[in-house]
Structures are given as C-alpha cells and as structure tokens.
Amino acid sequence: MSVQLVTTAAGGPPPSDSARFIRGLEITNLMVGVIAVTVAYLVAGPGPLHLGVVVGAAISALNLRAMVWLGGKVISAGRHSRTRYAVIFGLKLAVLVAVVWGAMSALPVEPLGLMLGFSTILPAILLMTVKKSLEPVEATRKGEL
C-alpha cells in the first residue's frame, strides 16, 4: 500500500477547509462590494453616496485582507514574533479609525454610503456561511457520517 500526497498546482499541500473558507470570504466580500457600488450608482447616480460606497467597500476589502494576513502571522509565527504581530494587529484598528476619519473629512463622501460600503463584509459572511452549510459532510472514518 502506497501513500499519495495530494498537491496543488503550485506543488504545495492543498489548502485547509478554513483557508478555503477565508479565501472564499475575501472573494465574496469583493463581489458584494462590486454589487453595492453598482446598486448605489444606479440608485443615487454619481455623487457623495456612490463615492461613500466605493470608499467604504475598498476599506472593507483592505481591512479584511490585513486581518487575514496578520491573523495568519499571529497564529504561525514563533513566540517572540507572535507578540509583535499581535501588537501590529491591534494597531491596525487605530489605522482603520484614522483612514475612516480621513476619508470622511477629506473626501466628499456621504457617511451612509461609507457605512454601507464598509458593511459589505456582513452579507459576505452570511453568504459564505450558507454556502458552507450546504456542502456535503465528508465522512472521517469508515461508516461515519
């Protein structure tokens, strides 16, 4: 009996369920953001509301990417580096607040639009959770469901 390892096209091991879920969440968040930007344009036309949704969706996507990257570093780093990444993760929140404040004070954005764009992560999480719940369950042992 031989053991075969499944690899990806890049040659590494296949991503875990959680890594696939997070990657799917990032993609879904981008798609929801594009939909939100399109709907805002169709409903309100070009203007402060639309610009707010664009900026909010961009901030949301970048914030999620930063959380995924930093969270991965916190989990996989050595003990000494883990503390450094955890502190950076906390500082990211301060940067996020500064970016939102800067966008609201320097750009002609409607706060409602910014909030709607930034909130795209919520329907993305819902959609990914529903998708995951509809996937068939794989048996881990013979005869187990």
Residue 1 lies in a domain: no
CA distances from 143 to 3, 69, 134, 138, 139 (A): 21, 38, 21, 11, 7
pLDDT, average across residues 82-100: 91
pLDDT, average across residues 90-111: 95
Q: Which of 67, 75, 57, 68 is nearest to 124 (CA)?
A: 57
Domain that holds residue 78: 17-122
Higher per-residue pLDDT: 114 or 136: 114
Residue 77 lies in a domain: yes
Residue 95 lies in a domain: yes
- Lowest-confidence region among 15-24, 31-40, 120-129: 15-24
Residue 4 lies in a domain: no
Residue 140 lies in a domain: no
Residue 144 lies in a domain: no
Q: Which of 43, 44, 60 is nearest to 114 (CA)?
A: 60
* pLDDT given at position 142: 59
Residue 133 lies in a domain: no
107 token code pair: 């750009």
Q: Which of 137, 130, 145 is nearest to 21 (CA)?
A: 130
Instruction: Say how many C-beta atoms besides its own lie within 10 A of residue 66's C-beta.
Output: 15
Residue 137 lies in a domain: no
- Contact status, residue 57 vs residue 36, Cβ threshold 8 Å: yes
What is the total count of domains within the chain?
Answer: 1
Q: Predicted confidence band at 1 (pLDDT cuts at 50, 70, 90)? A: very low
